[in-house]
Chains A and B, each alone.
Chain A
Amino acid sequence: MKKVVGLEGSFAIAEAVRMANTDVISAYPITPQTHIVERLSEMVADGDLDAEFICVESEHSAMSACVGASAAGARVFTCSAGQGLELMHEVLYIPSSMRLPVVAVAANRALSAPLSVWCDHSDVMAIRDIGWIQMFAENNQQAFDLTVCAYRIAEEVLFPTMVHIDGFFLSHVIEDMVLPNDEEVAGFIPEYKHPFTLDPDNPVSMGCYAPPFIYSETKKAQEVAFESTHSKIQETWKEFGDLFGRYYLPVEQYRMEDAKIALFTMGSFSETAMLAVDELREEGKEVGLIRLRLWRPFPFKEFRDAVKDVELLVVLDRAVSFGMGGPVCSEVKSALYDLRKKPNIVAFIGGLGGRDISVNEFKYMIREAQEKEKAIERGEDVEVEMIGIRE
C-alpha cells in the first residue's frame, strides 16, 4: 500500500537516513541544511533511529568523524551546504581516496561574499573533483529516493556518494510524496560490510604516505575504479525502479522527441523548465529538456546520445567560474568537443543566491539563444548572458 504524505525535503531525507538504519551521523548546523539534522536529532532522541549523533564543532570535523566511523565499519551520514562544504573541502577527498562509502546530502547554497544563505550551485562547482559520486534531485520524492539509492551504491562500489538538493527550493518546501515502509527500504539496502575496517583483531594501516614512485598508481587505480561505477549506479536505479516504481537515469530527457532545441539544467530548476518546454511545444516549437541527474562520474555516453539530433543546446548555469563563464557549460562543451556533429551551444547564468527563474525567463532564454545562435553562425563572439540582472 503506497503511503502518500506531505513532507518537507529535509524531512524526506531524514526518513531515508532513518530507514537506512544509519549507525553514525556527524553534522554541524548550517542553513539551509539544518532541518535535516534537527529532524535526525529528534529521531535519535525519540529512539526512532538507533544512531550515534556526533554534534561536532565544525564541518571539517563532521566529515572527519564520518571518515573515522566509516573506517570503523559503521554506516554514516552527514549533510552540509555552501560555506560548510567549503570548510569540509579538504576532508572530502579522504573517503573517496580511501574508498569509504560515506553518504552525504548537500543543500546547495551560494558562497560568501556577500553572505547569502540561499540557493545556487557555487558550492557544487567547488567540489566537482573530490571523487564522490554526485547526483541531483529535482523534488522531494527524488531527494528521498536518491538518498536511499546513495547508501546502496556507495556501499557496493565503495565510493562516497552525495545527493544534491537545492537549498530552500527543496529543503524547506513541503510536497506530496510516496513513502515506502521501513521493511521495503531495509530490504533494498543490505547490511554494510566493508572488506577492511579498523579492527584490533585484524590490524591494517589506512591512509599511508605515498612518495612519487607510487602516488600516481594510487590515483590511476582510483580513477579506473571510479569510472567503473557507472554500471552499478544504473543497475541500482533500475532495481529501485522495479521495486518502487520510480526510475532514474544519468541523463533524463523531457519531450526530447524530434527536439531541435534543448534546454540543459540540473536541480530544482528542471521542473520550471519543463513548464516552459510545455508552453513552447504548444506554440509549435521543437523544444525539449535535458536534465543531468548524475553529475559525477559524468555520463559522457548518455549525454552525447541525448544531444545527437539537437541543433541548439541552451545551458543554464547556476554558478560563475570567474573569468571562465558558466562552469557546467564548460563541461558540456568539453564533453561534446570530440563529436563531428554537435549542436551550437549558448550559455546563460542565472538563479544566483536564491533568485528564482520563471517560466517566462526560460522562454526568453530559448528566444535569445536562437538570436545568439545566428551570431555564432556568423562567427561572432557570443558572451555568456547573466539573466535578470538589474543594470
Chain B
Amino acid sequence: MEIEQEDLFAPRLVTTEELFAPGHRACIGCGEALAVRHVCKALGKNVIIVTATGCVEIISSLLPQTSWRVAWIHTLFENVSAVVSGVESGYKARKRKGKVPAAKDVKFVGFGGDGATTDIGLQALSGAMERGHDFLYCCFDNEAYMNTGIQRSSSTPYGAWTTTAPVGKKSIGQMTWKKNMPEIVVAHRIPYVATASPSYPFDLMAKVKRGLETKGPAYIQILSVCPTGWRCAPDLSIELGRLAAETGVFPLYEVINGEYRLTHDLPELKPIKEYLKLQGRFKHLTDDAIELIQTRVEEDYMKLKAKAGVK
C-alpha cells in the first residue's frame, strides 16, 4: 500500500536521516533491522552504541564495511552491559578531570538480542543496572538464537519449534514458558522499563527517547519478528508485531519509577490463534496446547492490567 504524499508528511513525523545505514545484510522482512533503524532515529547522533554478538552485529559490521553512522563498538556476546559501564565511566571520569568538555552531550546505549540479554548476558546486565550506570539497554527480542540458526533461548515462547527444542514424539517444541525479562528488570527498581515493537514505530521511538532522557539505567524490550526463525512470510513482520500486542502475547507497557502504564490498552484481546497460525514454528500445536497458552496469556495480561490499575 502506498502512502499518499509520503515525502511531504513523513519528515514531519520522523527524521529522514538514517543513522543505521541501508545496505546491511539482514534477511528479508527482518523485524530486528527495522527496530534498530527506528531506535537509531530516536537516539540521534550523540550516542555511543555497544552491541552484543548476534544478528545485529553480523549484519551491520562485515569488515571493511559498516552500517553505523554513530559511534559503535562490539566486543563479545555476554558483556554488553559491562562494556557500556566502562564507556560511561570513562566519559564520567574524563569529564570530571576536564579531558572532555563537561557540557558534551553523550548518551550510552547497549544493544543485545534475547540470548545476549535473558541468558548469557543477564549477569552483566543485572550488575550494570544495580550499579546505576546512566545507560539505555535495548533488547531486540526475536525469541531464539537466530544468528546461530534458531536455537531456543529462555525467551522462546512455550510451544515454539526451534532447532534445539524440536517437535518430536515426546516434545511439542519449547516446553518452558518465556522468561519475563521486563519483570526481572523492574525488580532492579531502575527508573524506566518498557516493552515496544517496530509495528508501532512512534510508540517505540517515544519510549526510546524517554529511556534515553532517563537519568540512570533504562531498559526496553523490543519484539523483533524474525521471519526466518518464526517460519513466517517476510511480508507479515509488521502484522505479526501488531497481533502480538493485540492478542496480549507481547503487551506494550512502560514502568516509570515503578508505576506501570499500559501504552496500548485493549479492552478485548484477540484470540492467540490468529497470531500463532501465521507462524510455522507453532503449526504443530494442538487445540489443547493452544488453549493452554491462551489461558496463560490471559492470566498474565490480567496481572499486568492489575499492576497498571486498569480494570
By a beta-carbon cutoff of 8 Å, the part of chain A in contact with chain B is 21, 23-24, 26, 50-52, 54-58, 60-62, 64-74, 76, 90-91, 94, 98, 191, 198-200, 202-211, 214, 218
Given contacts A50-B93, A67-B83, A211-B63, 17 further A-B contacts (CB under 8 A): A54-B131, A57-B123, A61-B81, A65-B85, A68-B89, A69-B89, A69-B93, A71-B83, A73-B99, A91-B76, A91-B79, A198-B73, A200-B71, A205-B68, A208-B63, A208-B66, A209-B61
The residues of A that contact B100 with a CB separation of less than 8 Å are 73
Nearest A residue (CB) for B47: A200
Check B72–A61 contact: CB distance below 8 A.
no
B62: CB under 8 A from chain A?
Answer: yes
B74: CB under 8 A from chain A?
Answer: yes
Q: Evaluate whether A198 and B93 lie within 8 angstroms (CB atoms) in the complex, with A58-B127, A94-B75, A203-B69 already known.
A: no
CB distance from B162 to the nearest CB of A (A): 24
Q: How far is the CA of A50 from the CA of B45 in the complex (A)?
A: 29
Q: Indicate which residue in A26, A94, A202, A203 contacts B89 across the interface (CB closer than 8 Å).
A: A26
Check B89–A74 contact: CB distance below 8 A.
yes
B87: CB under 8 A from chain A?
Answer: yes
B46: CB under 8 A from chain A?
Answer: yes
The residues of B that contact A55 with a CB separation of less than 8 Å are 131
Check B63–A68 contact: CB distance below 8 A.
no
Check B97–A206 contact: CB distance below 8 A.
no
Number of A-B contacts (CB under 8 A): 171
Q: Indicate which residue in A51, A60, A199, A200 contacts B82 across the interface (CB closer than 8 Å).
A: A60
The residues of B that contact A208 with a CB separation of less than 8 Å are 61-64, 66, 74
By a beta-carbon cutoff of 8 Å, the part of chain B in contact with chain A is 45-48, 50, 57-58, 61-64, 66, 68-76, 78-79, 81-94, 96-97, 99-100, 105-106, 123-124, 126-127, 130-131
The residues of B that contact A73 with a CB separation of less than 8 Å are 90, 94, 99-100
Highest count of chain A CB atoms <10 Å: which of B83, B124, B127: B83
Q: Evaluate whether A72 and B94 lie within 8 angstroms (CB atoms) in the complex, with A61-B85, A209-B61 already known.
A: yes
The residues of B that contact A98 with a CB separation of less than 8 Å are 75
Check B62–A211 contact: CB distance below 8 A.
yes
Q: Evaluate whether A24 and B89 lie within 8 angstroms (CB atoms) in the complex, with A60-B124, A208-B66 already known.
A: yes
Nearest A residue (CB) for B79: A64
Q: Evaluate whether A61 and B82 lie within 8 angstroms (CB atoms) in the complex, with A203-B72, A214-B64 already known.
A: yes
Q: How far is the CA of A23 from the CA of B131 in the complex (A)?
A: 18
The residues of A that contact B47 with a CB separation of less than 8 Å are 200
Q: Evaluate whether A205 and B83 lie within 8 angstroms (CB atoms) in the complex, with A50-B97, A55-B131 already known.
A: no
Nearest B residue (CB) for A215: B63
The residues of B that contact A62 with a CB separation of less than 8 Å are 82
CB distance from A209 to the nearest CB of B (A): 5
Check A70–B86 contact: CB distance below 8 A.
yes
Q: Indicate which residue in A57, A66, A71 contacts B126 across the interface (CB closer than 8 Å).
A: A57
Q: Evaluate whether A67 and B64 lie within 8 angstroms (CB atoms) in the complex, with A198-B73, A208-B74 already known.
A: no
The residues of B that contact A211 with a CB separation of less than 8 Å are 62-63
Q: How far is the CA of A282 from the CA of B80 in the complex (A)?
A: 60
Nearest B residue (CB) for A66: B86
CB distance from B227 to the nearest CB of A (A): 22
Q: Evaluate whether A56 and B127 lie within 8 angstroms (CB atoms) in the complex, with A68-B50, A209-B61 already known.
A: yes
Highest count of chain A CB atoms <10 Å: which of B48, B97, B131: B48
Nearest A residue (CB) for B89: A52
Q: Evaluate whether A23 and B94 lie within 8 angstroms (CB atoms) in the complex, with A198-B48, A208-B74, A209-B57 already known.
A: yes
Check A69–B86 contact: CB distance below 8 A.
yes
Check A205–B66 contact: CB distance below 8 A.
yes
Nearest A residue (CB) for B72: A205
The residues of A that contact B83 with a CB separation of less than 8 Å are 64-65, 67-68, 71
Highest count of chain A CB atoms <10 Å: which of B50, B94, B96, B99: B94
CB distance from B212 to the nearest CB of A (A): 13
Q: How far is the CA of A21 from the CA of B99 in the complex (A)?
A: 12
Q: Indicate which residue in A51, A68, A71, A207 contacts B93 across the interface (CB closer than 8 Å).
A: A51
Q: How far is the CA of A114 from the CA of B45 in the complex (A)?
A: 52
The residues of A that contact B71 with a CB separation of less than 8 Å are 198-200, 202-204
The residues of B that contact A52 with a CB separation of less than 8 Å are 89-90, 92-93
Q: How far is the CA of A302 from the CA of B45 in the complex (A)?
A: 51
The residues of B that contact A207 with a CB separation of less than 8 Å are 61, 73-75
Check A203–B94 contact: CB distance below 8 A.
no
Nearest A residue (CB) for B130: A57
The residues of A that contact B84 with a CB separation of less than 8 Å are 68
The residues of B that contact A203 with a CB separation of less than 8 Å are 45, 68-72
Q: How far is the CA of A98 from the CA of B48 in the complex (A)?
A: 17
Check B76–A90 contact: CB distance below 8 A.
yes
Check A24–B75 contact: CB distance below 8 A.
no
Nearest B residue (CB) for A60: B79
Check A72–B96 contact: CB distance below 8 A.
no
Q: Evaluate whether A206 and B89 lie within 8 angstroms (CB atoms) in the complex, with A23-B97, A57-B126 already known.
A: no
Check A26–B86 contact: CB distance below 8 A.
yes
Q: How far is the CA of A50 from the CA of B93 in the complex (A)?
A: 8
Q: List 16 A-B contacts (CB under 8 A).
A: A23-B90, A50-B97, A57-B127, A61-B127, A64-B76, A71-B87, A72-B87, A73-B100, A74-B86, A91-B79, A198-B71, A200-B45, A204-B72, A207-B75, A209-B57, A209-B61
The residues of B that contact A209 with a CB separation of less than 8 Å are 57-58, 61-63, 74
Check A56–B68 contact: CB distance below 8 A.
no
Q: Evaluate whether A69 and B62 lie within 8 angstroms (CB atoms) in the complex, with A60-B78, A198-B71, A200-B70 already known.
A: no
Nearest B residue (CB) for A204: B71
Q: Evaluate whether A72 and B48 lie within 8 angstroms (CB atoms) in the complex, with A61-B85, A90-B76, A203-B71 already known.
A: yes
Nearest B residue (CB) for A200: B46
The residues of B that contact A66 with a CB separation of less than 8 Å are 86
CB distance from A85 to the nearest CB of B (A): 16
Q: How far is the CA of A58 from the CA of B123 in the complex (A)?
A: 9
Q: How far is the CA of A24 from the CA of B84 in the complex (A)?
A: 13
Q: How far is the CA of A361 from the CA of B10 in the complex (A)?
A: 82
Check B75–A67 contact: CB distance below 8 A.
yes
CB distance from B154 to the nearest CB of A (A): 19
